Structures are given as C-alpha cells and as structure tokens.
Amino acid sequence: MSTDWLIVPVAYLGVVAGAVSGVMEARRKKMDVVGACVIGLITALGGGTVRDVLLGRMPVFWVLEPSYAWWAFLVALVTFYSTGLLVLTSRSILVPDALGLGVFSIVGASYGIQMQDSLLIAALMGVITGVFGGILRDVLCAQIPVVFARSTQLYATCSFVGAWVYLILLRWNVMASVATLIGIFVVVVMRLMAVRLNWRLPDPED
Amino acid sequence: MSTDWLIVPVAYLGVVAGAVSGVMEARRKKMDVVGACVIGLITALGGGTVRDVLLGRMPVFWVLEPSYAWWAFLVALVTFYSTGLLVLTSRSILVPDALGLGVFSIVGASYGIQMQDSLLIAALMGVITGVFGGILRDVLCAQIPVVFARSTQLYATCSFVGAWVYLILLRWNVMASVATLIGIFVVVVMRLMAVRLNWRLPDPED
Amino acid sequence: MSTDWLIVPVAYLGVVAGAVSGVMEARRKKMDVVGACVIGLITALGGGTVRDVLLGRMPVFWVLEPSYAWWAFLVALVTFYSTGLLVLTSRSILVPDALGLGVFSIVGASYGIQMQDSLLIAALMGVITGVFGGILRDVLCAQIPVVFARSTQLYATCSFVGAWVYLILLRWNVMASVATLIGIFVVVVMRLMAVRLNWRLPDPED
C-alpha cells in the first residue's frame, strides 16, 4: 500500500510553509521581492536539496519535478505582496510547518536508508531534510540559525526522534506505509506539544 | 554557428570581475591574503559551482577546466597586493561585472534547459549561475547578500529577465547562437541602465 | 606500502578535534545540544564533504563510512555535557587540530590529483578538505571565518604549502607513502611553529 496519496499533498504543504517562513524573514531584513523569492525558494527546497547532494541523487528533486519550485516561487511572490493585507505570524504557519517537518523528516530518512544501511546516517538525512531549509534561510539572513538557539522549543529533536521511530519500526519489519504514518505522526505531535508546553533541551549550565 | 569565440572570453572577464569584487569585500573586512584569495575564488566560481552541483554535472566546471581557477587565483592575488597602487571602486568593475552577469546567466540557462524541459528551472539555473557567487561572498563576510537589499538596483532581475528572453527565443526556434547573443545583450543593457537610472523593484510598503 | 595504518587513526583524531572545536564555538553562541551536535558534525566532516561534492564522489565519505559520523556525533555530545567538568581551550585542541589539518590536506590533495592532473586544483582540494569544516562552523555561527582574519596565525597557508610539497614529490616519482608522510609532516610542523612563533601573512597595509 503506497502512502503517496497522503505524503505528496503534505509535502506541498511543507513547501508552502517553508516559502512563507522564508518571505517573512526576508521582509524583516528589508529585502526586496527578489531576495524574498530566493529566500523563500531556499527555505522551502533547501533541506531536500542538501540531502540529495549528500546522497548523490542528482539532478536534485526540484529539477526533476519542477512543480515544487513553481509552488514555492508563486507562494513567495504572493506572500511578499500581500503582507499589507494578510498579517502573517510564526503562529499562523505553525501547523503547516509541523506537518512539513514530519513529512520531510520521514521522506529524508527513507532515502537515507535506501542508500546506506546505517540508522544514524538515515536519521541524519531525515533531520537534514527537515531542518536545513530553515538553517540556510538564517545563514542568508546573516543570523545564527533559530533552530540552534536554547530559547527555541524542540524542533530538530522532533525530526530526529520521529526518524528513529520510523527506522526502528522498519527494522522490526513493520509495513513501510504504517511506519511512515507513525513516524510522521510522532514528529508532528511532538513538535506541536513542544510549542504548546514550551519544551526545551536540558542545558548543562541550568 | 558556435558563439564560443565570444562567450569564452567574456566568461573569463566575468571571472575577473568576480575575483576583484571578492577581494575588495575581503579587504573591507580586514582579511589576510588567504581569506582574500578564497573569497575571490568563491565569488568568481561559486555561481557555476552551485549550478553544476544542483544539475549533477560533476566534477564541477573548474575542476575539469583548471584555467578558470588559475585566472581567479592570480587576479585575486594581484588585486590584493595592488590595492595601494590601484584605487578600485565598485564603479570600476561595473562593466566587466555586467558582462559576466550576462554570460553566466545565459550559459546557466542553457545548461538548465539541456537537463530539464522546464523554463522556470532553466531560468533559475541562469540566475543561480549569475548571482550565487556574490551571495556566497556576502555569506562568508557575515553580511546579508547585497543583491537582496531594497537599496540595490536591479541585478538578479536582469539575469532572470535575460534568461527568459533567451529561453523563449529558443522555444520559438530562433537559432541558439542568435538567442544567446540577444539574451546576453538584454542582461547587460538592463543592468547598466538599472545602475544609471537607479531602477529598483516596487515595494509593497512604498 | 600503504600508509593507511597511520592515516586512518590520525584522520579520526582530526574528526575529534573538529567536533570539539565546533561544540566550543556553539557553546560560546549559547546554542542548545542539537545546535552543538550539528555544528560539531559539520566542523568535523564539512571539509571532506565539500571536496567530495566538488569532485563528484557521491554519496559523500561519511555516508559510505558511517563510523566518522558516529565518532563526531558522540564526541560532540560528550563535549557538550562535560563542559562544566572539563575546561576546553583552543590550546588544548591545538595538536590534534594540527594533525587533522595535515591528514585532511594531504588526503584531499590525493583525491584531487586522482581526478584531475592539475596541481592547483589538487592543492585547492587539499585546502578545502583541511579548512572548510571550520569555515562552515563560522558561517553557521554568523561570524567571519577565523581562518580569514589577519590576526590569525598561518593556517590555510600550512595546508596549501604541505599539499604542494606532497604533489611535487609525487611528480618527482617519490613513493606515494613517503610523499604522504612528508606532506603531513610539513603541514603539522608549519602549523605548530606558526602558532608558537606567531607567524602571520604579510599585509600590504603594514
């Protein structure tokens, strides 16, 4: 049983969330529409791009499947010019962003495990796919990635944990479609709870 | 009819402009000669490198054709040590930079359209080839890319428009050499006019 | 005669030094454990990763050989949580870091010369393997790479010089194993002397 009927639309939702978050940050940095579109595209597509390059899956996914780039581009354009009308806050993209994080993480981990039979490498591919778009966004905005800050609620951690759950279920011979759905579910629920309950990582200085 | 007799020398001019602009920025940031050479090389070769990686054309072009790296390296070295003698301003590299932007954009778009029959992807490859060297320069100098700032006159936009002109001419079955020359011409003229007439992008907050 | 018995353990030492230096910088920037582990991994494995991508050796080395990623990950984790107990200074990782620089530079140059018969390209691959981990660390920490600063003692220069020595010895038909050991020795000794004697690069403004 393929889970593509579920995964593909949610992946597009993740691309939308990435493009919107990129444009929001670009506006905060006083960029013009070109800057905003570039940051939007990179935030939306950057994680999967880095994963594809590391694994040698080239040309990268959005060159093979241009509709991802079209979506990100049009969403970035519309978001940039509608900021007066539409008040966008990080709160308003929380749910699409969490869903995108879930799908990107599990898809990334599945590509990783196809290439190399190491759970750590596959989990890292999941995390890279899930969070590197946002890291590249922050690097291009000349700021320390938000995802690394102590004040940030669990984000990469959700991706990492969900990827391990998915990979261990696969190793236990659970059906791939079931493992995929559970993995995504773990990431999304953990992320939403982390925001709601303000979960952070333990710090040795505390 | 090949246009290589024209494109190859202009591409080298673009590499020179990139190396000079990298070294100028590196000096402003108080870097030593190693820093300046690395930034010079990355500014000159970075756009084509990112394009090659995304398209899976590896090893990247300057590994296959080391003379590009030699040029960039020697120009960076000479520029660094001649700054006392030679007063370099962004003004003095405006024309070589615009010519480089034109050639890089159209060459990038032509590689893109060979790989994937999507005009958006090919145009993005043109823009990436044209502007990513400067973006990487600014990221390594820990500042927001100049090309994204509202105060910057049209730059990536010229690359994007010229690439679309070139791609649409190709689709209309115009000879590749003619389409190439027109595409480059559009980028260069548009960029020089943008600087002369201080063209910027419309901003929703204006 | 293979030199792997020497090179492989020293490469792991270099990975350890990279992971530690990444975590130290991450802590200075008030990152949480996830940020520290990501920065640690990227500092340790980033140089070789960029080299592999530029040369088209994909999947990159640590996907093929996951033990490098495991080492970097565990060292980063332990370093992060032991900072209270263990006082880490850049001084304490000077020797492992210099050894890592030596091995990474010569291994990188040897991969470069296998791909392309150009000494400049091979030497650049050596430098990239040796120093790009630290450059990526600083980019992710939103600061100008330390290695580019005028106040820094010779670092990339040691990598560049050692790579040229190795490549010229190879061209003179010196046995590969001997050339490798001499190349590494040159990098390590030059780096340690540069720190001890405070060697810097000549600057045109001095």
Residue B204: is its pLDDT beyond 80? no
- pLDDT value at residue B206: 56
For the ranges A8-12, A32-36, B17-21, which has the lowest average pLDDT?
A: A8-12
Q: How far apart are CA A23 and CA A137, in angstroms?
A: 10
∠ CA B66-B70-B76, rounded to 5°? 145
> Model confidence at A164, in pLDDT bands (50, 70, 90)?
very high
- pLDDT value at residue B138: 93
Interface contact C62-A121, CB threshold 8 A: yes
Give the pLDDT mean for B73-99.
Answer: 80
In a domain, B206, yes or no: no
Q: Please count the residues of chain C.
A: 206
Report how many domains make up chain C.
1
Radius of gyration of chain B (CA): 16
Q: How far apart are CA B81 and CA C206, in angstroms?
A: 11
Q: Which residue has the higher pLDDT, A16 or B91?
A: A16
- pLDDT value at residue B120: 94
- pLDDT value at residue B109: 95
Question: How does pLDDT run across A59-111, given as a tens digit for each residue?
Answer: 999 999 999 999 999 999 999 988 655 666 667 778 888 998 999 999 999 99
In a domain, A205, yes or no: no
In a domain, C202, yes or no: no
Residue B93: is its pLDDT beyond 70? yes
Chains contacting chain C through 3 or more C-beta pairs under 8 A: A, B
Structure tokens at B83: 């700054």
Helix (H), strand (E) counts: chain C: 8, 0
- pLDDT value at residue B110: 93
With a pLDDT cut of 70, the percent of chain B lying above it is 93
Interface contact C35-A115, CB threshold 8 A: no
Residue B44 near residue C96 (C-beta atoms within 8 A): no
Question: How does pLDDT run across A99-154, given as a tens digit for each residue?
Answer: 989 999 999 999 999 988 899 999 999 999 999 999 999 999 999 998 888 778 88
SS3 A149: strand
pTM of the model: 0.93
Q: How far apart are CA A37 and CA A20, in angstroms?
A: 10
In a domain, B204, yes or no: no
Distances (CA, A) of B41 to B3, B18, B206: 26, 8, 38
**Chain B residues whose beta carbon lies within 8 Å of the beta carbon of residue A22:** none
A 10 A CB-CB count for C155 gives 25
**Chain B residues whose beta carbon lies within 8 Å of the beta carbon of residue A38:** 135, 148, 156
Interface contact C150-B49, CB threshold 8 A: no
Radius of gyration of chain A (CA): 16
Q: Which of B95-104, B184-193, C21-30, C84-93 holds the top average pLDDT?
A: B184-193
Q: How far is C170 from chain A (nearest CA, A)?
A: 30
A 10 A CB-CB count for C178 gives 14
Q: Please name the residue ranges forming H helices in chain B.
A: 4-28, 33-55, 61-64, 67-81, 94-115, 119-140, 156-171, 176-197
Interface contact B31-C55, CB threshold 8 A: no
Interface contact B73-C120, CB threshold 8 A: yes
In a domain, A89, yes or no: yes
The closest CB to that of B31, out of C54, C139, C148, belongs to C148
In a domain, C148, yes or no: yes
In a domain, B205, yes or no: no
Q: How far apart are CA B127 and CA A133, in angstroms?
A: 19
Mean pLDDT by 10 residues, chain C (206 residues): 76 89 89 91 96 95 94 93 67 83 94 90 95 94 89 89 96 92 94 88 67
The single residue listed with the structure tokens 């792991």 is C12
- pLDDT value at residue B84: 59
Q: Distance of alpha carbon A125 from its chain centroid, rounded?
A: 12
Residue A158: is its pLDDT beyond 80? yes
Which of A53, A148, A155, A198 to probe the C interface (max C CBs under 10 A)?
A148
In a domain, A206, yes or no: no
- pLDDT value at residue A1: 58
Q: Which domain holds residue C19?
A: 4-197
For the ranges A83-97, A161-175, B132-146, which has the lowest average pLDDT?
A: A83-97
Q: How far is A136 from chain C (nearest CA, A)?
A: 9
Q: How far is B127 from chain C (nearest CA, A)?
A: 20
